[in-house]
Structure 1
Amino acid sequence: MNLDITEQSLPVFEALASKVRMKIIHLLAEQPRNVKELAQSLELTSAIMTMHVKKLEKAGIIQSELVSGKGGLQKKCYLVTEKMEVLFPSKERELKKFHETEVSVGHYTDFSIEPTCGIATTDRIIGEFDDPRYFLYPDRMSAKILWFGKGYVEYKLPNFLLGNQDPSELEISLELSSEAPFTNSNWPSDIHFYLNNVVLGKWTSPGDFGDSRGKFTPDWWPSEVNQYGLLKRLRITSDGTYMDGLKISDVSLDDVSIREKQWTFRIAVLEESPNVGGVTLFGTGFGNYNQDIRFRLYYNDSELTKEETEKLS
């Protein structure tokens, strides 16, 4: 989870400003618990515990769902945040030069998927659920959400880096979650990322979220299916690849042939992974973040040698 110093992040800071809520996070890190179990562990009433749970839910730190128990339906809580990174205002970063390309969710150039699966624009479902053939339908270019149980989707995009520009970091940001039948906040999925056929690493999505509607999800979208994902930021630097600030591999810019004129980016759920829980990709008009798959290549200008200048001319 990425935070910044704006009012949008206030619910998270407020949720963490409580010893009780910090204890709740520690308890849920051990295992999911229902409200009654949390209340008993902290010697509080269920009513007070419900208030604390709602604060943590609003902040996106935990998710909950109604499950059947011995005494009927119970509200079970799950920790869904692995780490947080607070981004402070930085003049240096704002002044950094970069090339930006945003690729629409439906603009994939290759795929190989298995159900459950589906694809939709902001206006309608394309074709039918669980039929991979509709991933070839011409209207898929307008798709802003897609999901599949296992397999991959692949995107190609241009690289506008010039000869006198030294790449320092590639940032890829996208909103995604697992893909469960209907929704399930506790549905882990190992999602792998590739750039130019090099494995960058994996991130394990905690679940497929449907406890509340996405901020940008269209009104016609069914309430019983995936509503929103988590905004994740992949950063490839000179010393490795990071997910939301946490290093996930030693793959560097040099390893992925960053100066290639065209990049290939793949998102995959592998059959041999421990957690095969699918993936849902959210684009503009769906989920909580109104963006598609965004690529930013940061660079520094450098002086060209005479030979390099002649090659470019």
Structure 2
Amino acid sequence: MKLDVTTNNMKVLECFSSETRVRIIELLNGKPYNIGELAEALGLSSAIITKHIQKLEEAGIVSTENTVGKRGTQKLCSLHVDQLVLVLRTAAADKPADHGGFTVELPVGQYIRYEVHPTCGLASFDKRIGMMDDPRYFDDPEHTQAEHLWFGSGFVEYRIPNYLVGQAEASSIAISLEICSEAPHYNENWPSDITFSINDTAVATWTCPGDFGSKRGLYTPPWWNDTQYGLHKTVSVTKEGTHVDGVRFSDVQIGQLNVKAGQELRFRIACPASAANCGGVSLFGKRFGNYPQDIRVTVTV
């Protein structure tokens, strides 16, 4: 898991300011422990260990499970993530642009049009929105509150605010988001050909390897039990072509997209039924999954 070192992620960063919490992580690296075993190993009370475990669990570093023990129910603790990469200097595409460029974030629920087919649905941070597998609920007024949405085939399209002025024309556009395939419940071996388009021009088709749910998402709410998180992907269109995470995917250049002042900007995420791997799409907002961001768009001039 990658994590930007910002004040938005203090819950995670604060976990490493305590020697006790670091020692707990060291112990859990070997095997799961219950609260009593951790207390005995560290020479502390079970009440103190419980408080530390709560902080580690809130940060998504540790997960717990109530199991049957020798003396009734016990809380078994284990590491939830294998590694954590701290990002001190973000890539240029993730920084606010200057010289007339701009950066905006689009909530995943604020699409302007859609065509989706089951399995499909929406969820806010607090609840499911409408009925599952009924595309009509993508018109529900609450869809703008969605932090997670999914569909088996089809598309969602967003309007990007265009803050370019005068004669300014974009030299690049970068769009980063958390995304994966969509399988019933989840299936980590479920490839999906996902096509990204800007202003009706397909810029890249990327094959996601699966729909991830075996580990809990760092920001996924506790009540949610299906797909947990996606992969963080950045689609960049420049004068040289289109890249996904720095890998060239197509020859489409920024000049072909008509990104200039006064022109509408539209971004579409699609998995057509005709795709070789029609494995659907799952999208995550800043309060779902592993990355605290919505669909982030950076336009430079």
- SS of the aligned residue for 2:256 comes to helix
Q: 1:138 to 1:237 in 2, by over 3 A?
A: same
- TM-score, length-scaled by structure 2: 0.69
The partner residue of 1:270 within 269, 272, 275 is: 272
Which runs of structure 2 are paired with 1:172-183 in the superposition (5 Å)?
A: 172-183=175-186
Distance 2:176 2:238 in 1: 15
Which runs of structure 2 are paired with 1:39-78 in the superposition (5 Å)?
A: 58-59=82-83
Q: 1:158 to 1:5 in 2, by over 3 A?
A: closer
Q: 1:296 to 1:119 in 2, by over 3 A?
A: same
Q: 1:93 to 1:244 in 2, by over 3 A?
A: closer
One-letter code aligned to 1:125: R
Q: 1:228 to 1:188 in 2, by over 3 A?
A: same
- Alignment length (residue pairs): 229
The partner residue of 2:153 within 147, 150, 154 is: 150
Distance 1:92 1:227 in 2: 26
Runs of 4+ in 1 over 6 A off after TM superposition: 1-6, 86-95
What's 1:307 paired with? Answer: none
Distance 2:187 2:278 in 1: 14
What's 2:259 paired with? Answer: 258
Distance 2:96 2:275 in 1: 41
Deviations, residues 255-281 of structure 1 (Å, cap 9, x unaligned):
111115321111000111110000100
Q: 1:211 to 1:261 in 2, by over 3 A?
A: same
One-letter code aligned to 2:119: T
- TM-score, length-scaled by structure 1: 0.66
Deviation at 1:100, TM superposition (A): 1.0
Q: 1:209 to 1:136 in 2, by over 3 A?
A: same
The partner residue of 1:99 within 97, 102, 117 is: 102
Distance 1:208 1:93 in 2: 25
The partner residue of 1:279 within 272, 278, 281 is: 281
- SS of the aligned residue for 1:167 comes to coil
Distance 1:230 1:108 in 2: 20
Q: Which shows bigger deviation, 123-132 or 166-175?
A: 166-175
Distance 1:162 1:4 in 2: 31
The partner residue of 1:289 within 256, 268, 291 is: 291
Q: 1:117 to 1:95 in 2, by over 3 A?
A: closer
The partner residue of 1:119 within 105, 119, 122 is: 122
Distance 1:171 1:92 in 2: 6
Q: Is contact 1:160-1:261 (8 Å) kept?
A: no
Deviations, residues 26-51 of structure 1 (Å, cap 9, x unaligned):
xxxxxxxxxxxxxxxxxxxxxxxxxx
One-letter code aligned to 2:247: L
Q: 1:152 to 1:93 in 2, by over 3 A?
A: closer
Distance 1:230 1:147 in 2: 14
Distance 1:170 1:140 in 2: 26
Deviation at 1:242, TM superposition (A): 0.5
Q: Is contact 2:94-2:298 (8 Å) kept?
A: no
5+ residue gaps in structure 2? 7-11, 13-77
What's 1:228 paired with? Answer: 229
What's 2:131 paired with? Answer: 128
Q: 1:166 to 1:135 in 2, by over 3 A?
A: closer
- SS of the aligned residue for 1:129 comes to coil
- SS of the aligned residue for 1:58 comes to coil
5+ residue gaps in structure 1? 9-53, 61-85, 300-313
Q: 1:92 to 1:172 in 2, by over 3 A?
A: closer
One-letter code aligned to 1:170: I
Q: 1:258 to 1:219 in 2, by over 3 A?
A: same
Distance 2:166 2:89 in 1: 32
The partner residue of 1:167 within 159, 167, 170 is: 170
Q: Which shows bigger deviation, 153-162 or 116-125?
A: 153-162
Distance 2:152 2:178 in 1: 17
